[in-house]
Structure 1
Amino acid sequence: MQKFTSDDFVTMPWKNGGGTTVQFASYPAGADHASFEWRVSAADITTAGPFSLFAGYDRSIAILQGNGIALELDSLHATMLTRDNKPFAFRGEQQVHVSLLDGPVKDLNIMTRRACWTHTLEKLQFSGSMQCAMQADQIFIYNTRGATVHCRTLAGRELECGIGEAVLIDATDGDHVDLSASDTATLYIARLTAKRNDQ
Protein backbone atom coordinates (compact mmCIF):
# COMPACT_ATOMS: atom_id res chain seq x y z
CA MET A 1 0.00 0.00 0.00
CA GLN A 2 1.57 3.24 -1.15
CA LYS A 3 0.46 6.86 -0.87
CA PHE A 4 1.22 9.54 -3.46
CA THR A 5 1.14 13.28 -2.75
CA SER A 6 2.24 16.35 -4.67
CA ASP A 7 5.78 15.74 -3.38
CA ASP A 8 5.83 12.50 -5.38
CA PHE A 9 4.28 13.80 -8.60
CA VAL A 10 6.52 14.49 -11.61
CA THR A 11 5.81 17.19 -14.21
CA MET A 12 6.92 16.31 -17.74
CA PRO A 13 6.25 17.54 -21.30
CA TRP A 14 3.66 15.86 -23.47
CA LYS A 15 5.09 13.35 -25.91
CA ASN A 16 4.12 15.71 -28.77
CA GLY A 17 5.39 18.80 -26.92
CA GLY A 18 1.97 20.46 -26.85
CA GLY A 19 1.70 20.84 -23.08
CA THR A 20 2.69 19.31 -19.76
CA THR A 21 1.52 16.30 -17.77
CA VAL A 22 1.71 15.71 -14.04
CA GLN A 23 2.52 12.04 -13.54
CA PHE A 24 1.06 10.59 -10.35
CA ALA A 25 2.50 7.09 -10.70
CA SER A 26 3.90 4.74 -13.32
CA TYR A 27 5.24 1.22 -13.68
CA PRO A 28 8.04 0.41 -13.76
CA ALA A 29 9.22 3.37 -11.69
CA GLY A 30 11.32 5.81 -13.67
CA ALA A 31 10.12 4.59 -17.08
CA ASP A 32 9.99 7.12 -19.92
CA HIS A 33 7.38 7.66 -22.68
CA ALA A 34 8.62 4.64 -24.60
CA SER A 35 8.96 2.11 -21.78
CA PHE A 36 6.20 2.47 -19.18
CA GLU A 37 3.70 -0.37 -18.81
CA TRP A 38 1.08 1.72 -17.05
CA ARG A 39 0.79 5.36 -16.06
CA VAL A 40 -1.66 7.56 -14.15
CA SER A 41 -1.41 11.29 -14.80
CA ALA A 42 -3.29 14.59 -15.08
CA ALA A 43 -2.91 17.32 -17.68
CA ASP A 44 -4.08 20.90 -18.13
CA ILE A 45 -5.61 21.46 -21.56
CA THR A 46 -5.64 25.17 -22.38
CA THR A 47 -5.99 25.19 -26.18
CA ALA A 48 -7.41 23.00 -28.93
CA GLY A 49 -5.01 20.54 -30.53
CA PRO A 50 -4.00 16.91 -31.02
CA PHE A 51 -3.33 14.31 -28.36
CA SER A 52 -0.02 12.48 -28.41
CA LEU A 53 -0.03 9.10 -30.14
CA PHE A 54 0.67 6.07 -27.93
CA ALA A 55 0.51 3.07 -30.26
CA GLY A 56 0.02 -0.19 -28.40
CA TYR A 57 -1.59 1.44 -25.36
CA ASP A 58 -5.17 1.58 -24.13
CA ARG A 59 -6.27 4.89 -22.64
CA SER A 60 -9.03 6.26 -20.41
CA ILE A 61 -9.71 9.92 -19.75
CA ALA A 62 -11.94 11.80 -17.30
CA ILE A 63 -12.50 15.51 -16.64
CA LEU A 64 -11.41 16.68 -13.19
CA GLN A 65 -11.93 20.44 -13.55
CA GLY A 66 -13.47 22.78 -16.11
CA ASN A 67 -16.48 22.67 -18.39
CA GLY A 68 -15.36 19.85 -20.65
CA ILE A 69 -13.95 18.96 -24.05
CA ALA A 70 -14.97 17.58 -27.42
CA LEU A 71 -12.87 14.64 -28.60
CA GLU A 72 -12.74 13.95 -32.32
CA LEU A 73 -11.43 10.44 -32.98
CA ASP A 74 -9.91 9.54 -36.36
CA SER A 75 -11.80 12.51 -37.91
CA LEU A 76 -15.02 10.49 -37.73
CA HIS A 77 -17.08 11.79 -34.83
CA ALA A 78 -16.88 13.97 -31.74
CA THR A 79 -17.51 12.83 -28.16
CA MET A 80 -18.41 15.41 -25.53
CA LEU A 81 -16.79 14.81 -22.17
CA THR A 82 -17.60 16.77 -19.00
CA ARG A 83 -17.17 16.21 -15.26
CA ASP A 84 -20.62 14.59 -15.22
CA ASN A 85 -19.71 11.93 -17.80
CA LYS A 86 -18.27 8.52 -17.17
CA PRO A 87 -14.59 8.16 -18.09
CA PHE A 88 -14.00 7.67 -21.81
CA ALA A 89 -11.83 4.86 -23.21
CA PHE A 90 -9.95 4.83 -26.54
CA ARG A 91 -6.88 3.35 -28.17
CA GLY A 92 -3.56 5.14 -28.06
CA GLU A 93 -2.98 4.86 -31.81
CA GLN A 94 -6.18 6.70 -32.65
CA GLN A 95 -5.84 10.22 -34.03
CA VAL A 96 -7.49 12.41 -31.38
CA HIS A 97 -8.15 16.13 -31.66
CA VAL A 98 -9.48 17.98 -28.63
CA SER A 99 -11.55 21.19 -28.53
CA LEU A 100 -12.48 23.08 -25.37
CA LEU A 101 -16.19 23.50 -24.65
CA ASP A 102 -15.78 26.66 -22.53
CA GLY A 103 -12.37 27.38 -21.10
CA PRO A 104 -9.43 25.24 -19.97
CA VAL A 105 -9.81 21.87 -18.27
CA LYS A 106 -7.78 19.44 -16.19
CA ASP A 107 -8.11 15.79 -17.13
CA LEU A 108 -7.14 12.46 -15.61
CA ASN A 109 -5.42 9.91 -17.84
CA ILE A 110 -4.85 6.18 -17.41
CA MET A 111 -2.66 4.36 -19.93
CA THR A 112 -1.75 0.67 -20.05
CA ARG A 113 0.50 -1.14 -22.52
CA ARG A 114 -1.91 -3.51 -24.28
CA ALA A 115 0.54 -6.42 -24.38
CA CYS A 116 1.09 -6.29 -20.62
CA TRP A 117 -1.91 -4.81 -18.79
CA THR A 118 -5.61 -4.09 -18.96
CA HIS A 119 -7.43 -1.41 -16.96
CA THR A 120 -10.78 0.05 -16.06
CA LEU A 121 -11.53 3.52 -14.71
CA GLU A 122 -14.60 4.50 -12.74
CA LYS A 123 -15.85 7.55 -10.87
CA LEU A 124 -17.19 7.02 -7.35
CA GLN A 125 -19.00 9.44 -5.05
CA PHE A 126 -19.76 8.27 -1.54
CA SER A 127 -19.96 9.26 2.12
CA GLY A 128 -19.88 7.11 5.22
CA SER A 129 -18.34 3.66 4.84
CA MET A 130 -18.13 1.17 1.98
CA GLN A 131 -16.13 -1.74 0.64
CA CYS A 132 -14.32 -1.25 -2.66
CA ALA A 133 -13.68 -4.56 -4.42
CA MET A 134 -10.14 -5.11 -5.68
CA GLN A 135 -11.05 -7.11 -8.83
CA ALA A 136 -7.53 -6.50 -10.19
CA ASP A 137 -3.86 -6.97 -9.42
CA GLN A 138 -3.58 -3.35 -8.33
CA ILE A 139 -6.05 -0.60 -7.60
CA PHE A 140 -5.18 3.11 -7.83
CA ILE A 141 -7.51 5.47 -5.94
CA TYR A 142 -7.34 9.23 -6.63
CA ASN A 143 -9.26 11.66 -4.41
CA THR A 144 -10.30 14.56 -6.62
CA ARG A 145 -12.59 16.56 -4.30
CA GLY A 146 -14.61 16.51 -1.11
CA ALA A 147 -13.66 14.83 2.14
CA THR A 148 -10.49 13.04 3.15
CA VAL A 149 -10.89 9.28 2.71
CA HIS A 150 -9.59 6.69 5.15
CA CYS A 151 -8.39 3.52 3.38
CA ARG A 152 -7.89 0.23 5.20
CA THR A 153 -6.90 -3.10 3.66
CA LEU A 154 -7.64 -6.60 4.94
CA ALA A 155 -3.93 -6.87 5.72
CA GLY A 156 -4.43 -4.09 8.28
CA ARG A 157 -2.64 -1.31 6.42
CA GLU A 158 -4.25 2.13 6.75
CA LEU A 159 -3.75 5.49 5.05
CA GLU A 160 -5.50 8.84 4.84
CA CYS A 161 -6.07 10.04 1.27
CA GLY A 162 -6.74 13.78 1.07
CA ILE A 163 -7.86 15.89 -1.86
CA GLY A 164 -5.32 15.67 -4.67
CA GLU A 165 -3.70 12.58 -3.18
CA ALA A 166 -3.74 8.95 -4.28
CA VAL A 167 -3.27 5.44 -2.93
CA LEU A 168 -1.98 2.36 -4.77
CA ILE A 169 -3.00 -1.00 -3.29
CA ASP A 170 -1.84 -4.47 -4.32
CA ALA A 171 -4.09 -7.54 -4.43
CA THR A 172 -1.85 -9.22 -1.85
CA ASP A 173 -3.49 -6.86 0.69
CA GLY A 174 -6.87 -8.59 0.24
CA ASP A 175 -9.86 -8.77 -2.08
CA HIS A 176 -11.30 -5.41 -1.06
CA VAL A 177 -10.45 -2.06 0.52
CA ASP A 178 -12.54 -0.48 3.28
CA LEU A 179 -13.19 3.21 2.57
CA SER A 180 -14.68 5.77 4.95
CA ALA A 181 -15.31 9.50 4.73
CA SER A 182 -17.06 11.94 7.08
CA ASP A 183 -18.65 13.77 4.14
CA THR A 184 -19.06 13.26 0.39
CA ALA A 185 -15.85 12.39 -1.44
CA THR A 186 -15.33 12.03 -5.19
CA LEU A 187 -12.85 9.37 -6.22
CA TYR A 188 -11.52 7.96 -9.46
CA ILE A 189 -10.63 4.29 -9.22
CA ALA A 190 -8.35 2.61 -11.74
CA ARG A 191 -8.11 -1.17 -11.65
CA LEU A 192 -4.93 -2.53 -13.23
CA THR A 193 -4.61 -6.19 -14.22
CA ALA A 194 -1.45 -7.79 -15.56
CA LYS A 195 -1.89 -10.09 -18.55
CA ARG A 196 -0.85 -13.68 -18.03
CA ASN A 197 1.02 -15.76 -20.59
CA ASP A 198 -2.21 -17.48 -21.68
CA GLN A 199 -4.10 -14.21 -22.31
Structure 2
Amino acid sequence: MTLTHLFDVETLPVGPWRNGGGDTREIACEGSAGPDGGSADFGWRASIATIAADGPFSPFPGVDRTITLLAGEGVHLIADGAGTAGAAALDHRLDHPAVPFAFSGDHALRARLLGDGGPVLVLNIMTRRGRWTADVRRVDAPVPLPAGHAGVLYLLSGRGTNTGPGPALRPGRGRWWTSGAADHAAPLEPGSVALWADIRPV
Protein backbone atom coordinates (compact mmCIF):
# COMPACT_ATOMS: atom_id res chain seq x y z
CA MET A 1 0.00 0.00 0.00
CA THR A 2 1.16 3.48 -0.78
CA LEU A 3 2.52 5.41 2.17
CA THR A 4 0.76 8.78 2.31
CA HIS A 5 1.60 11.76 4.46
CA LEU A 6 -1.03 13.88 6.16
CA PHE A 7 -0.87 17.68 6.12
CA ASP A 8 -3.03 20.44 7.59
CA VAL A 9 -2.86 23.94 6.11
CA GLU A 10 -3.20 25.41 9.62
CA THR A 11 -0.01 23.75 10.87
CA LEU A 12 2.25 23.93 7.80
CA PRO A 13 5.34 26.13 8.35
CA VAL A 14 4.86 29.62 6.89
CA GLY A 15 7.60 31.41 4.94
CA PRO A 16 7.27 35.01 3.66
CA TRP A 17 7.91 35.90 0.02
CA ARG A 18 11.08 37.89 -0.58
CA ASN A 19 9.03 40.73 -2.12
CA GLY A 20 6.64 40.89 0.85
CA GLY A 21 3.58 40.22 -1.34
CA GLY A 22 2.52 37.02 0.35
CA ASP A 23 3.64 33.84 2.04
CA THR A 24 4.02 30.14 1.28
CA ARG A 25 3.21 26.99 3.22
CA GLU A 26 5.15 24.10 1.71
CA ILE A 27 3.31 20.78 1.55
CA ALA A 28 5.99 18.64 -0.07
CA CYS A 29 9.04 18.93 -2.30
CA GLU A 30 10.97 16.37 -4.35
CA GLY A 31 14.50 17.71 -4.07
CA SER A 32 15.58 21.00 -2.55
CA ALA A 33 13.36 24.05 -3.10
CA GLY A 34 15.33 26.78 -1.34
CA PRO A 35 13.88 30.21 -0.51
CA ASP A 36 10.58 30.88 -2.35
CA GLY A 37 11.08 27.56 -4.18
CA GLY A 38 13.79 29.22 -6.21
CA SER A 39 16.41 26.47 -6.25
CA ALA A 40 17.05 24.64 -9.52
CA ASP A 41 17.25 21.37 -7.58
CA PHE A 42 13.59 20.50 -7.00
CA GLY A 43 11.79 18.06 -9.30
CA TRP A 44 8.30 18.94 -8.10
CA ARG A 45 6.87 21.06 -5.35
CA ALA A 46 3.42 21.51 -3.79
CA SER A 47 2.46 24.42 -1.57
CA ILE A 48 -0.37 26.62 -0.34
CA ALA A 49 0.31 30.30 -1.06
CA THR A 50 -1.33 33.46 0.23
CA ILE A 51 -1.27 36.37 -2.22
CA ALA A 52 -1.68 39.41 0.03
CA ALA A 53 -0.83 42.35 -2.24
CA ASP A 54 -0.54 43.39 -5.88
CA GLY A 55 2.93 42.81 -7.27
CA PRO A 56 5.27 40.54 -9.23
CA PHE A 57 5.45 36.75 -9.24
CA SER A 58 9.00 35.43 -9.34
CA PRO A 59 9.68 33.62 -12.65
CA PHE A 60 10.71 29.94 -12.53
CA PRO A 61 12.53 29.16 -15.79
CA GLY A 62 12.13 25.55 -16.87
CA VAL A 63 9.20 24.95 -14.50
CA ASP A 64 5.53 24.34 -15.31
CA ARG A 65 2.99 25.62 -12.81
CA THR A 66 -0.66 25.01 -11.95
CA ILE A 67 -2.43 27.23 -9.43
CA THR A 68 -5.98 26.82 -8.13
CA LEU A 69 -8.01 29.36 -6.18
CA LEU A 70 -9.02 28.07 -2.74
CA ALA A 71 -10.33 31.21 -0.99
CA GLY A 72 -10.77 34.91 -1.67
CA GLU A 73 -12.15 36.86 -4.62
CA GLY A 74 -9.34 36.00 -6.99
CA VAL A 75 -6.34 37.46 -8.75
CA HIS A 76 -5.64 38.83 -12.24
CA LEU A 77 -2.38 37.41 -13.66
CA ILE A 78 -0.67 39.40 -16.42
CA ALA A 79 2.56 38.89 -18.38
CA ASP A 80 3.68 41.07 -21.28
CA GLY A 81 5.78 38.37 -22.92
CA ALA A 82 9.07 39.69 -21.55
CA GLY A 83 9.79 36.59 -19.47
CA THR A 84 12.55 34.06 -19.96
CA ALA A 85 12.73 31.60 -22.89
CA GLY A 86 10.56 33.86 -25.06
CA ALA A 87 7.40 33.26 -23.00
CA ALA A 88 4.31 34.60 -24.73
CA ALA A 89 1.98 37.20 -23.26
CA LEU A 90 -0.53 35.99 -20.67
CA ASP A 91 -3.74 37.54 -19.31
CA HIS A 92 -5.88 35.42 -16.97
CA ARG A 93 -8.41 36.09 -14.21
CA LEU A 94 -8.18 33.38 -11.56
CA ASP A 95 -11.59 34.02 -10.01
CA HIS A 96 -13.37 30.64 -9.96
CA PRO A 97 -12.60 28.43 -6.92
CA ALA A 98 -11.36 24.89 -7.56
CA VAL A 99 -10.66 25.52 -11.26
CA PRO A 100 -6.95 24.78 -11.95
CA PHE A 101 -4.96 27.09 -14.24
CA ALA A 102 -1.75 25.80 -15.84
CA PHE A 103 0.97 28.10 -17.20
CA SER A 104 4.70 28.30 -17.82
CA GLY A 105 6.93 29.40 -14.97
CA ASP A 106 9.04 31.17 -17.60
CA HIS A 107 6.55 34.05 -17.43
CA ALA A 108 7.48 37.18 -15.50
CA LEU A 109 4.01 37.71 -14.04
CA ARG A 110 2.32 40.55 -12.22
CA ALA A 111 -0.65 39.84 -9.96
CA ARG A 112 -3.51 42.19 -9.19
CA LEU A 113 -6.00 41.23 -6.48
CA LEU A 114 -9.65 41.30 -7.56
CA GLY A 115 -12.73 42.56 -5.73
CA ASP A 116 -11.95 44.41 -2.50
CA GLY A 117 -8.27 43.56 -2.83
CA GLY A 118 -8.30 41.12 0.07
CA PRO A 119 -5.81 38.24 0.23
CA VAL A 120 -6.40 35.04 -1.73
CA LEU A 121 -5.32 31.48 -1.01
CA VAL A 122 -4.13 29.19 -3.82
CA LEU A 123 -2.84 25.65 -4.23
CA ASN A 124 0.43 25.82 -6.15
CA ILE A 125 1.90 22.81 -7.99
CA MET A 126 5.28 23.19 -9.74
CA THR A 127 7.08 20.57 -11.84
CA ARG A 128 10.51 20.63 -13.44
CA ARG A 129 9.95 20.49 -17.20
CA GLY A 130 11.39 17.37 -18.79
CA ARG A 131 11.48 15.50 -15.46
CA TRP A 132 7.94 15.67 -14.06
CA THR A 133 4.52 16.80 -15.25
CA ALA A 134 1.28 17.38 -13.33
CA ASP A 135 -2.42 17.12 -14.03
CA VAL A 136 -4.54 18.93 -11.42
CA ARG A 137 -8.27 18.33 -11.34
CA ARG A 138 -11.35 18.61 -9.12
CA VAL A 139 -12.60 15.17 -8.03
CA ASP A 140 -15.70 14.03 -6.15
CA ALA A 141 -15.07 10.29 -5.96
CA PRO A 142 -12.15 8.01 -5.09
CA VAL A 143 -9.56 7.98 -7.86
CA PRO A 144 -6.89 5.33 -8.54
CA LEU A 145 -3.32 6.35 -7.77
CA PRO A 146 -1.26 5.22 -10.78
CA ALA A 147 1.83 3.18 -10.01
CA GLY A 148 5.03 5.21 -10.00
CA HIS A 149 3.24 8.57 -9.72
CA ALA A 150 3.50 11.09 -6.90
CA GLY A 151 0.55 13.23 -5.93
CA VAL A 152 -1.31 15.59 -3.62
CA LEU A 153 -4.92 15.43 -2.48
CA TYR A 154 -6.45 18.54 -0.83
CA LEU A 155 -9.95 18.22 0.63
CA LEU A 156 -12.34 21.08 -0.21
CA SER A 157 -15.54 19.74 1.34
CA GLY A 158 -16.86 16.58 3.00
CA ARG A 159 -14.60 14.03 4.60
CA GLY A 160 -11.84 11.63 3.65
CA THR A 161 -11.40 8.09 4.87
CA ASN A 162 -8.47 7.40 7.12
CA THR A 163 -6.08 5.15 5.17
CA GLY A 164 -2.91 6.03 7.07
CA PRO A 165 -1.61 7.33 10.37
CA GLY A 166 -3.20 10.43 11.88
CA PRO A 167 -6.76 11.77 11.81
CA ALA A 168 -9.21 11.48 8.92
CA LEU A 169 -9.31 14.24 6.35
CA ARG A 170 -11.50 17.31 6.69
CA PRO A 171 -11.55 20.54 4.64
CA GLY A 172 -8.15 22.22 4.81
CA ARG A 173 -6.33 18.92 5.23
CA GLY A 174 -4.86 16.60 2.66
CA ARG A 175 -2.39 13.84 1.88
CA TRP A 176 0.64 13.64 -0.36
CA TRP A 177 2.67 10.68 -1.58
CA THR A 178 5.84 10.01 -3.51
CA SER A 179 4.67 6.92 -5.39
CA GLY A 180 1.35 5.30 -6.23
CA ALA A 181 -0.09 1.82 -6.42
CA ALA A 182 -2.63 0.77 -9.02
CA ASP A 183 -4.82 -1.02 -6.43
CA HIS A 184 -4.99 1.99 -4.09
CA ALA A 185 -7.46 4.88 -4.28
CA ALA A 186 -7.38 8.44 -3.01
CA PRO A 187 -9.23 8.48 0.34
CA LEU A 188 -12.56 10.25 -0.32
CA GLU A 189 -15.95 9.51 1.21
CA PRO A 190 -19.01 9.73 -1.09
CA GLY A 191 -20.11 13.32 -1.63
CA SER A 192 -16.70 14.79 -0.80
CA VAL A 193 -14.88 17.20 -3.15
CA ALA A 194 -11.11 17.53 -3.42
CA LEU A 195 -8.31 18.76 -5.62
CA TRP A 196 -6.07 15.98 -6.90
CA ALA A 197 -2.66 16.68 -8.39
CA ASP A 198 -1.41 13.62 -10.29
CA ILE A 199 2.37 14.17 -10.57
CA ARG A 200 4.11 11.75 -12.89
CA PRO A 201 7.66 11.30 -14.15
CA VAL A 202 8.37 12.14 -17.78
Please give the secondary structure, in 1, of the residue aligned with 2:103.
Answer: strand
Structure 1 stretch displaced more, 95-104 or 51-60: 95-104
Deviation sequence 1:116-158 (CA, Å, 0-9, x none): 211111122x3xxx43022461221011x32221154xxxx57
Give the counterpart letter for 2:160 in structure 1.
V
Match of 1:12 in 2: 15
1:7 CA displacement: 7.6
Cα-Cα RMSD: 2.5
Unaligned 5+ segments in structure 1 are none
Q: Tell me if 1:168 matches 2:176.
A: yes
More strand by proportion, 1 or 2? Answer: 1
1:44 CA displacement: 1.3
Match of 1:97 in 2: 110
1:12 CA displacement: 1.9
Task: Tell me the distance in 2 between the aligned counterparts of 1:85 and 1:74.
Answer: 26
Q: Tell me if 1:138 matches 2:141.
A: no
Q: Tell me if 1:3 matches 2:10.
A: no
Task: Tell me the distance in 1 between the aligned counterparts of 2:170 and 2:134.
Answer: 24
Task: Tell me the distance in 1 between the aligned counterparts of 2:56 and 2:20.
Answer: 10
Unaligned 5+ segments in structure 2 are 82-88
Task: Tell me the distance in 2 between the aligned counterparts of 1:36 and 1:8.
Answer: 23
Task: Tell me the distance in 2 between the aligned counterparts of 1:47 and 1:98.
Answer: 8
Task: Tell me the distance in 1 between the aligned counterparts of 2:71 and 2:186.
Answer: 27
The answer on whether the counterparts of 2:98 and 2:138 sit within 8 Å (CA) in structure 1 is no
Deviation sequence 1:75-128 (CA, Å, 0-9, x none): 54521112346211111111211111113211110001113211111122x3xx
Q: How does 1:55-134 map to 2 (within 5 A)?
A: 55-74=61-80, 76-84=89-97, 86-102=99-115, 103-124=118-139, 126=140, 130-134=141-145
The answer on whether the counterparts of 2:151 and 2:197 sit within 8 Å (CA) in structure 1 is yes
The answer on whether the counterparts of 1:121 and 1:190 sit within 8 Å (CA) in structure 2 is yes
1:174 CA displacement: 2.7
Please give the secondary structure, in 1, of the residue aligned with 2:96.
Answer: coil
The answer on whether the counterparts of 1:14 and 1:52 sit within 8 Å (CA) in structure 2 is no
Task: Tell me the distance in 2 between the aligned counterparts of 1:85 and 1:169.
Answer: 21
Task: Calculate percent identity across the aligned residue pairs.
Answer: 30
Task: Tell me the distance in 1 between the aligned counterparts of 2:105 and 2:134.
Answer: 13
Give the counterpart letter for 2:173 in structure 1.
E
Give TM-score scaled by structure 2 length.
0.78
The answer on whether the counterparts of 1:26 and 1:36 sit within 8 Å (CA) in structure 2 is yes
Give TM-score scaled by structure 1 length.
0.79
The answer on whether the counterparts of 2:21 and 2:54 sit within 8 Å (CA) in structure 1 is no
Q: How does 1:148-187 map to 2 (within 5 A)?
A: 148-150=159-161, 152=163, 160-177=168-185, 179-181=187-189, 184-187=191-194
The answer on whether the counterparts of 1:27 and 1:37 sit within 8 Å (CA) in structure 2 is yes
